[in-house]
Amino acid sequence: MEPSRWERAKYGAAMGGAVGLCIGLVFGGLSAMRNGPGRNGYVNNLAQTMVSSTAMFAFFMAIGSVIRTEEALAIDYAELDQNKGRKNIWGGAMRFKTPPVVILQQQQHQQQ
């Protein structure tokens, strides 16, 4: 069973949060070593960098994982590979009899 869009968004946010946390630690630590503690001190400066980086990466990864959901694009790969063994006039392999976009449009009309 395929995960729902909400579950994919949660997984993407978790992955993005982990990546953002690590990147925030690295860049916040480098910034604190180069520029000093600033007004808030080392810990608060590092924490602010880590939290903002985590939130940004989690947000964009959640959106990206929802966009990549492929449940609406159930492609019939057997139909796409119907011309796999044939050659075209230039000697290369001929891939598609009909373009994949047309096949997807036909499948969407059949589902409606």
Residues 59 and 98 in one domain: no
Domain limits for position 22: 5-67
Residue-wise pLDDT tens digits, 80-104: 555 555 555 555 555 556 666 777 7
Give the global pTM: 0.59
- What's the structural domain count of the chain? 2
Domain annotation covers residue 72:
no
Residue-wise pLDDT tens digits, 23-34: 999 999 999 999
Residues 41 and 61 in one domain: yes
Residues 82 and 34 in one domain: no
Domain annotation covers residue 96:
yes
Residues 48 and 96 in one domain: no
Burial 51-85 (b: 16+ CB within 10 A, else e): eebbeebbeebbeebeeeeeeeeeeeeeebeeeee
